[in-house]
Structure 1
Amino acid sequence: SNFRQGLSVFEYVTTTRGSRKGLTDSALKTSDAGYLTRKLVDVSHEAIIREGDCGTTDGIEIYKEGNRGKAFGARILGRLLAEPVVEPKTKKVIFERNEEIDEEKARELEENEKITKVVVRSPLACEARFGLCVKCYGWSFTNRKTVEHGVPVGVLAAQSIGEPGTQLTLRTKHTAGVVGLDVTQGLPRVTELFEIRTPKIVSPLAEISGKVQVVSEEGGYRIIVKEGKKDGEMREYVVPLTSTIKVEDGEEVLAGTQLASGALEVRNILEVRGLREAQKYLVDEIQAVYESQGIPINDRHFETVVRMMSENVRIKSPGETSFLPGDLINKRRLEAENSVIRENKGTEATAEQIILGITRAALYTESWLSAASFQETSNVLADAAMIGKKDDLLGLKENVIIGRLIPVSSERARIPVKEEEKLAPGEEVSEPLSTVPEGVKM
Structure 2
Amino acid sequence: THGARKGLADTALKTADAGYLTRRLVDVSQDVIINEEDCGTLRGLATAAIKNNDEVIASLYERILGRVSVHDVHHPNTGEILVNAGEEITEDIAKKIDESPIERVEIRSVLTCESHQGVCAKCYGRNLATGRMVQKGEAVGVIAAQSIGEPGTQLTLRTFHMGGTASNIAAENSIRTKYDGILEFDELRFVECTDSDGKTYKVVVSRLVEMRIVDPNTKIVLLSHNIPYGSKLYFGEGATVQKGDLICEWDPFNAVIVSEATGRIRFENFSENMTYKVESDEQTGLKEKVIIESRDKTRAPSAHIVNENNDILRSYTLPLGSHIVKNENDEIKAGDVLVKIPRAVGKAGDITGGLPRVTELFEARNPSNPAVVSEIDGEVSFGKIKRGNQEITITSKTGEQKKYMVPLSKQILVQENDYIRAGMPLSDGAITPSDILAIMGPTAVQEYIVNEVQDVYRLQGVKINDKHFEVIVRQMMRKVEVVDPGDTRFLEQQLVDKNEMMEENDRIWGKKVIVDAGDSQIFEPGQIVTVRKLRDENSSLKRRDLKPVEARDAIPATANQVLQGITRAALQTTSFMSAASFQETTKVLNDAAINGKTDTLEGLKENVIVGHLIPAGTGQREFEKLIVGSRDDFEKLNANKRSNLFQEAAVEE
Measured against the shorter chain, the TM-score band is: 0.7 to 0.9
The higher-RCO structure (CA 8 Å, 6+ apart) is 1
1:97-127 Cα offsets, whole Å, 9 max, x none, are 1121111111111111x21111100000000
1:123 is matched with 110
1:352 corresponds to 2:560:
yes
2:497 is matched with 330
- Contact residue 486 and residue 556 of structure 2 kept, 8 A: yes
2:31 is matched with 46
What is the deviation of 1:40?
0.5
Q: Secondary structure at the match of 2:578?
A: helix
Unaligned runs of 5+ in 1: 1-14, 417-442
Indicate the larger mover: 290-299 or 230-239.
Answer: 230-239
Summarize the Cα distance change of 1:163–1:239 in structure 2 as closer, same or farther, 3 Å threshold. Answer: farther
Q: Determine the C-alpha separation between the residues in 2 that align with 1:197 and 1:309.
A: 12
What is the deviation of 1:355?
1.1
Indicate the larger mover: 295-304 or 76-85.
Answer: 76-85
1:187 corresponds to 2:317:
no
1:390-418 Cα offsets, whole Å, 9 max, x none, are 212111000000000111125716699xx
Q: Secondary structure at the match of 2:57?
A: coil
2:435 is matched with 268
- Contact residue 50 and residue 414 of structure 1 kept, 8 A: no
1:62 is matched with 47
2:132 is matched with 145
1:430 is matched with none
Q: Secondary structure at the match of 1:66?
A: strand
Q: Determine the C-alpha separation between the residues in 1 that align with 2:397 and 2:435.
A: 24
- Contact residue 141 and residue 472 of structure 2 kept, 8 A: yes
1:76 is matched with 64
Which of 13, 16, 19 in structure 2 is aligned with 1:28? Answer: 13
Q: Secondary structure at the match of 2:126?
A: coil
1:5-404 equivalences in 2 (<5 Å): 22-66=7-51, 69-88=57-76, 93-112=81-100, 114-175=101-162, 178-179=345-346, 181-212=349-380, 224=392, 226-229=394-397, 231-236=399-404, 238=406, 245=413, 250-259=417-426, 262-342=429-509, 344-345=511-512, 346-404=554-612
Q: Determine the C-alpha separation between the residues in 1 that align with 2:115 and 2:363.
A: 25
Q: Secondary structure at the match of 1:56?
A: coil
Q: Secondary structure at the match of 2:574?
A: coil
Summarize the Cα distance change of 1:325–1:403 in structure 2 as closer, same or farther, 3 Å threshold. Answer: same
Summarize the Cα distance change of 1:80–1:54 in structure 2 as closer, same or farther, 3 Å threshold. Answer: same
Q: Determine the C-alpha separation between the residues in 2 that align with 1:28 and 1:387.
A: 39
1:191-250 Cα offsets, whole Å, 9 max, x none, are 0000010112323432100134689x9xx99694633548441443637777694x6765
Summarize the Cα distance change of 1:36–1:399 in structure 2 as closer, same or farther, 3 Å threshold. Answer: same
| Structure 1 counterpart of 2:135, one-letter code | E
Summarize the Cα distance change of 1:82–1:230 in structure 2 as closer, same or farther, 3 Å threshold. Answer: closer
| Structure 1 counterpart of 2:420, one-letter code | V
What is the deviation of 1:253?
2.6
- Contact residue 373 and residue 435 of structure 2 kept, 8 A: yes
Q: Secondary structure at the match of 1:391?
A: coil
What is the deviation of 1:131?
0.3
- Contact residue 380 and residue 395 of structure 2 kept, 8 A: no
- Contact residue 84 and residue 96 of structure 1 kept, 8 A: yes
| Structure 2 counterpart of 1:160, one-letter code | S
Q: Secondary structure at the match of 2:93?
A: helix
Q: How many residues align?
A: 399
Q: Secondary structure at the match of 2:617?
A: coil
TM-score normalised over the length of structure 2: 0.57
Q: Determine the C-alpha separation between the residues in 1 that align with 2:357 and 2:411.
A: 19
Indicate the larger mover: 96-105 or 270-279.
Answer: 96-105
Identify, as 1 or 2, the structure richer in helix.
1
| Structure 1 counterpart of 2:121, one-letter code | V
| Structure 2 counterpart of 1:270, one-letter code | L
| Structure 1 counterpart of 2:160, one-letter code | K
Summarize the Cα distance change of 1:152–1:342 in structure 2 as closer, same or farther, 3 Å threshold. Answer: same
- Contact residue 28 and residue 475 of structure 2 kept, 8 A: yes
**Percent identity of paired positions between Structure 1 and Structure 2:** 46
Identify, as 1 or 2, the structure richer in strand.
2
Q: Please identify the structure whose Cα radius of gyration is greater.
A: 2
Q: Determine the C-alpha separation between the residues in 2 that align with 1:222 and 1:86.
A: 52
Summarize the Cα distance change of 1:52–1:94 in structure 2 as closer, same or farther, 3 Å threshold. Answer: same
Summarize the Cα distance change of 1:282–1:62 in structure 2 as closer, same or farther, 3 Å threshold. Answer: same
